Each structure stands twice: as C-alpha cells, then as structure tokens.
Chains A and B, each alone.
Chain A
Amino acid sequence: MTNLFAKRREELLALKALRDRQSHPSLGVSQAAPCPACGQPADQRELAKALYVCPNCGYHHPVGAYYRLRTILDPSSFRELDEDIGGLDPLHFPGYGEKAQAAEGKTGLKDAAVTCTGRIHGIRVAVGVLDSRFLMGSMGTAVGEKITRLIEHANKDKLPLILFSASGGARMQEGIVSLMQMAKTSAAMEQFSRNGGLSISVLTHPTTGGVTASFASLGDITLAEPGALIGFAGPRVIEQTIGQSLPEGFQRSEFQQEHGFVDAVVPRGALRDTLVQLLQLHRRGGKLA
C-alpha cells in the first residue's frame, strides 16, 4: 500500500517537473534553442542530462520548483506541504487577480513557492523553493505564509531546513502586507535558529529585494548557483542612483562570495552532493574513532 502511494507521488512529481521544463521560456521543447548566454544551440537531450546547465558555457538556465526538487530529493520522498495556499489581495489591486490566474495557468502553481518535506541521502529535510516563473518569484502573503509554515514545521519536527531563493523581491500588488512578510519569515528564522535548527540558503538567479533582505540572508550556510544575480537593490535602480553603469559581474554569485556573503558557489550538478555533505557534517554527537 505505502509503496503504491509512494510510487504515485513520485509519478506526480515527475509530471510536474516535466511541466516545469516545458513552460519555462528558456527551456522550450523545440530542439536546438540557442543558449541566452553564449548563443550556442544546445541539444535538448544533452541539456536535460546536464540539469539545464549549458554544456558550452556553464550558463545555469532557470528551472521550476518541482524540477529543482527532483534534482535534490531522494526518489519517492517528496511530500508537498500547504499546496492550497494562494495569495491574498489586500489592496484589491486592479488586474492582480487576473495576472495571478494567468501565472497559475502557465505554471500550474498557486503562487511562487513550493514547500515540502523529503529526504536527501536518507536524511529527512524541510525544503522550500521559490519559482521565478510565477510573477518573478515575488514574495507576497502566499510565499510569506508558506515559507513561515515550513520554518515552523522544521522547528517542530527538528528538521534541517533548505531554502532555494529566486525572487524579484516583495510582491508590489499586495502592498505593505507583502513587506511585512519579511518580518514574519525573519522572525520564524530567528526562532528556528535559537532552537538549534540548521538552515541552508541556496541563492539562485535572481535573488533580490525583500527576499535577500529577509530569510534568504539568514541561513547558517549560504550557497549560490554560478552567475546568479544576488542583491538588495536591482542593477537598474543602482545605475539610476549613481548615474553610471555597473561593472561586469557586479552582484553576481562570485562577487558575493568574494565580498563575504556566500560560503560557496556550487554548480547545479554538484549541489545535491554538497547538501549531503553539509547535512552529514551537522549530525550531532558521535565519538572519535
């Protein structure tokens, strides 16, 4: 019985992950689309095998939340949390409902976050993933609520917490209430950390604004995918402020590592192994051999 359910769950995740790839603008099913970074056409099968990292230049294509989870979780271990949570509309902002509905139709997501429990190399974990295809991964009430519930779940069950960020910042359409999600998620991180919980923050392209200035910057360990844009203010706002253009590589993962805000820049293909290593290194107790 249990095995049958596990198999169904796995099939569902596989289907959702497949849909992720197909609906991503840069991950069309048409073969030989040119890489947005180097322009080199890539064979789709080869690209899929490389976890959507360009074999020619190493460009990391954005990937959807379910696909991401498939790449790091043990098979059959995925259990989604709070699937039904969607966004609120505290401003009754004109056109917001339609926009969110269109995003849902395109991605199959209720909002920009997927949260779950699962296992990595047999170790139980709580994982949250932001999906930049849904209104740029912006954090409104749905993302804030789901991430907070996930952190509280990890706190209660004493699970390591892994958060993948990809976000344009606060969800403008939800106004001040979306700003408050920064306080809500940060307070949950504070409580989790005070109780000894391990959190690993993985920053992917792009992580900016209110997500950078809240839970994404509060991990015990911070990892980043190569070449991801990571910052508080967006490059255009900075350029407008200082009246000049920014140097190549500014605010990218490698820059953030150099400036002390990222422990390690980890290519997608090595990410699961790095997570396994970190989870194992955080096992408590034991004795000298």
Chain B
Amino acid sequence: MSVLTPWERVAIARNPQRPGTEDYIAGLFADFFQQRGDRLQGDDPAIVGGIALYHGLPVTVIGHRKGHSLEERVACRFGMPNPEGYRKAQRLMLQAEKFRRPVITFIDTPGAYPGMEAEARGQGEAIASCLKIMSGLTVPAVAVVIGEGGSGGALALGVANTVLMLENAVYSVLSPEGFAAILWKDAARAEEASGVMKLTAQDLVSLGVADAVLPEPEGGAHNDPAAVLQTVDKALYQALSTLLRQSGTALRNQRYQKFRAMGSWPAKGANQ
C-alpha cells in the first residue's frame, strides 16, 4: 500500500472518476432488478437499490449514488440523499428480512442533503429509522465504504455485521471542511482537520469501527477499476460466507455487540 496523507486520500475518495455504487452493482452482481421509490413520497436517485444475485445467491444491494457525468451528479445532488432515499433503503431492508436475503451496502456520500424539503420531510427521522431497522436485521449485513463516508447520512447504511473499507476511502463524523468550520471557525483548514480526524481506513480499523482495509491500485481505485472489483469481490465473498453460517439471532447479537463496544466505558484498548 502506498503512503498518502489523509488529505490526499480525501481527494482520491472524492474523485468523480472513482468507481461508484452503480459500478460495483454492474461488476459484482447478476440479474440486478432495481427497486425505486419509498411508497410515500417519491424516488431518490442518490440512493440506488434492488435485488440481485451474488455468486448465485439472491441478495438485497443498496448504496449511495453520486453519478459520474455532471448531469447525473446534479440529479443525485452529488450523492447527498433526501429522506425518500433513506426510506427506500428501509423498505428494501425490511424486504430482505422478509425474504431472508443478505443485505450488502455501498457507502459513498458527503452526507445527507441539508435542504429545506429534506428537513420538512424528516431527514433526521429517516436516518434514525434506517439505523434502527438495520440494527434489527436477522440476515447478514455487510457494508463496504467505497468512497466518502460522511456523517449520519453514511452511517444510515452502515450498521452492518462486517464493515469493509477501501484503502483510500474515508469515514468521518463530518467532512473535514465542516469539522474545521465548527471547531476552528475556518473551513479553509480542512486539510489540517483531515490530519487529526482519524478518517482513513487504517485509522478506522485501529478504532474498531471498520474490520478490514481493502487495498487499491497505485493512485486510487479509478486507475484500475477491474482490479478493485476483484478485491472487493474476494473480501465480500469471504465475509458473507462466514456470516451465512450464523443464526439470525446470533447475527443480530453480533451486530449489537459490535457497535455496543464503540466508545464503551471504562475505556478499553490503547486507542481510546
């Protein structure tokens, strides 16, 4: 693995040419049937999801979508979902539970969209309910952080049994810009913020938030998407195979204990 600064990784994670959820769906799954809409308000293109076969096994796949072309990126609000996106994700997770399908999520968002309509339609409630539903699943759930994992809008798809992270993906409480603006009243100090936030894949594994770092080609995933697909496939296959051997209750308990241990008291381990 190459040695890059956290800020360099932030730039790679945000590269518009970086493979996104659609690319992983196209590359790793067969017979994808896209499910649209939350059955309440509308469909949000910033979250894509549906049913597909993963190595022959029916699974539910859900991920943030940023889009590649400018037109797509604008339609997806640069990967920032509205409540409809999160409610679609809830609907799909509940169906996965009903039909006993594993849930695979791809995380890639700067955060939930901070718009007027999003607030009027309950952005906070939509994310909270995602967290609740995902934590209660009795089917395996694997999350892969493929790009930006920004704030609660990312975590909404992240309450998984196994959390994998690409080498140049980042995952944080807020964007470095937002972090610097809040704590130092200066968004321009984002690079400095990225240095103290512990947002790299390696940091997250040390903190016990992510389970494994998936290596990327030199310079980032966009330089060799085929190689990254292969890496993700291998890790996903291994994680799912292990989880599929456990009972539903055991899966839910393991997920509960995993998040329960984060920041528990008294402090455990050298990193806290």
Interface, chain A (partner B; CB < 8 A): 82, 85, 88-91, 93-94, 140-142, 144-145, 148, 170, 172-184, 186-191, 193-194, 208-210, 212-218, 230-233, 237-238, 241-242, 246, 250-251, 255, 259-261
Distance between A232 CB and nearest chain B CB, rounded to angstroms:
4
Q: Which residues of A contact B174 (CB under 8 A)?
A: 170, 172
- Tell me which of B47-55, B56-64, B91-99, B127-135 binds A: B127-135
Quick one: given A88-B263, A176-B199, are A217 and B124 in contact (CB under 8 Å)?
yes
Contact of B131 among A91, A141, A182, A260 (CB under 8 A): A182
Give the Cβ gap from B270 to chain A, nearest Cβ, in Å.
11
CA distance A82 to B265 in the complex (A): 10
B263 engages A184 (CB within 8 Å): yes
CA distance A65 to B255 in the complex (A): 32
Chain A residues near B197: list those with CB within 8 A: 91, 175-176
The residues of A that contact B207 with a CB separation of less than 8 Å are 90, 176-177
Could you tell me if A213 and B263 are in contact, using CB atoms closer than 8 angstroms? no
Distance in Å: Cβ of B208 to nearest Cβ of chain A: 9
**How many whole Å from B147's CB to the nearest CB in chain A?**
16
24 CB contacts below 8 A, A to B, read: A82-B265, A142-B265, A175-B197, A175-B198, A177-B209, A180-B259, A183-B131, A183-B259, A208-B124, A209-B152, A210-B151, A213-B127, A214-B128, A214-B131, A217-B122, A217-B125, A218-B129, A231-B123, A231-B124, A232-B152, A238-B114, A242-B116, A255-B120, A259-B120
Known A-B contacts A190-B136, A213-B128; A241 and B114 likewise in contact (beta carbons under 8 Å): yes
A187 touches B255 (CB 8 A): yes
Name the one of A186, A188, A210, A232 contacting B114, with C-beta atoms under 8 angstroms.
A232
Question: In whole angstroms, how far apart are the Cα atoms of A187 and B207 in the complex?
Answer: 19
Q: B residues within 8 A CB of A142?
A: 265
Distance (whole angstroms) from the CB of A110 to the closest CB of chain B: 11
Q: With A and B bound together, what is the CA distance between A76 and B101 in angstroms?
A: 51
Q: Which residue of A lies closest to B174 (CB)?
A: A172
Which single member of B132, B172, B264, B272 contacts A189 (CB below 8 Å)? B132
In the complex, what residues of B have CB within 8 A of residue A186's CB? Answer: 128, 131-132, 135, 159
A167, B256: Cα distance in complex, Å: 24
Contacts of A176 in B (CB 8 A): 171-173, 197-199, 203-204, 207, 209
B: contact size bracket: 35 or more
Residue of A nearest to B127 (CB): A213
Task: Say which residue of A89, A141, A194, A246 sits within 8 Å of B265 (CB atoms).
Answer: A141
Q: Which residues of A contact B171 (CB under 8 A)?
A: 176
| B197 smallest CB distance to A (angstroms) | 5
| Set of chain B residues within 8 Å of A193, measured between Cβ atoms | 132
Instruction: Say whether A217 contacts B129, CB under 8 Å.
Output: yes
Bound Cα distance A209, B124 (Å): 7
Chain B residue at minimum C-beta to C-beta distance from A90: B272
Known: A141-B263, A186-B128. A179 touches B152 (CB 8 A): yes
Q: How far is the CA of A185 from the CA of B264 in the complex (A)?
A: 12
Contacting residues of chain B (154-186) with chain A, CB-CB under 8 angstroms: 155-156, 158-159, 171-174, 179, 182-183
Closest chain B residue to A193 by CB distance? B132
CB of B86 to closest CB in A, whole Å: 10
> Quick check: B125 and A177 within 8 Å, CB to CB?
no
Whether the pair B115, A187 counts as a contact (CB closer than 8 A) is no
Complex CA–CA separation, A193 to B26 (angstroms): 38
Q: Which residues of A contact B271 (CB under 8 A)?
A: 90
Instruction: A155 to B134: give the CA distance in the assembly, Å.
Output: 20
